[in-house]
Amino acid sequence: MSAIIFPGQGSQYKSMAMDFNENFTVSHNTFSEIEDATKINIRKIILENQQDKLNQTKFTQIAIFSASTVIFKTLVDQVGLEVMKPNLVFGHSLGEYSALVANNSLNLADASKLIKIRGELMNSAIAPNTSGMAAIIGKNANDIDEIISKNNLDIVIANDNSPMQVVVSGLINNINDAETIFISNGVRKYIKLNVSAAFHSKYMETAQNMLKDEIDKISFSPSIIPIISNFDAVINSNTDKIIDSLKNQMANKVRWTESIKKLEETEISEIIEIGPGKVLSGLISRITKKFDIISIDKIADLDKFK
């Protein structure tokens, strides 16, 4: 029994999934379908990264989604779902959209359009250079919440990534001012992230409401594989609950640690990370040692299923 997971923003790199595009018809066609739906030359961005577009949120998200989904579709074509035996799917933030394609809730074109809009909305949700995020190493989410409350800090947890890594969001001045407080309270590292805004916080609420309107225009299908949603870390097959969680994802915390703990309650023994990089595999190894983890990022990784 296995779970399939998909990465989020931060795992992008130049030329990701291009080896699949060059060697498999299904990969090439999947890229083409996403590009037709979004009217973005995604492969050019991934290959050339002109003007550092891969690190601009409005392009980053659709590029990572494309790479992850291309690899997934190729795996299904070359290996088959019956070999991977997925009993659950989920993803980190934007990775949830790849998971919803994988479990049949969203078709590829609709998911691509939503991700394009999501990236644009998040990119422009708040004036540039006024808000940001920081990764805190060495304390768990409960500890971080306690420090925030005790010191009346106007920041929030955006990503509960592992018991030793939490990401916070807020206005840039508040993010900067909080560093000394966290260091004095025993965190090992406080790393300001190179992101365009305070994602997964109240500063995304207007953008989230606008995305809700776009989600309402989309027809969702019954899922063929249950999903763990970021918003509530609950295993879901109910379409209405899946949609509700998706609508509330952008301005709320990514409950990654809770999601892995929920996975521990199942009989699943293997996790397959599909998409660029091995960020999620690293996070999971800091949460639990229960699972065998396979990362599928390059064509050579397909041999792991032989």
> Do β-strands 155-162 and 131-137 pair in parallel, antiparallel, or remain unpaired?
unpaired
Q: β-strand 131-137 against 165-171: which pairing, if any? A: antiparallel
Q: How far apart are the first and last CA of the chain?
A: 17
Q: Please tell me what DSSP assigns to residue 219.
A: P
Distance CA 124, CA 145 (A): 28
Q: Is 65 exposed, middle or buried (0-12, 13-18, 19+ CB in 10 A)?
A: buried
Nearest-angstrom CA–CA distance, 256 and 95:
12
34: closest CA among 146, 105, 110? Answer: 110
> Of 273, 242, 264, whose CA–CA distance to 103 is shortest?
242
Q: Is 295 a catalytic residue?
A: no
Give the C-alpha separation, 149 to 47, whole Å: 45
Note if 93 is an active site residue: yes
Q: What letter would DSSP give residue 254? A: B
- Catalytically annotated residue among 93, 223, 229, 295: 93
Task: List, in sequence order, the alpha helices (H) in 79-204.
Answer: 81-84, 95-102, 108-123, 141-150, 172-184
Question: HSE on the CB side for 264, CA within 13 Å?
Answer: 12
270 backbone dihedrals φ, ψ, rounded to 5°: -130, 140
| Residue 236 burial (10 A CB sphere; 0-12, 13-18, 19+) | buried
Catalytic residue among 200, 201, 229, 245: 200
| Residue 216 CA to its chain's centroid (Å) | 21
Residue in the structure block whose two tokens are 């900067």: 176
Catalytic residues: 93, 200
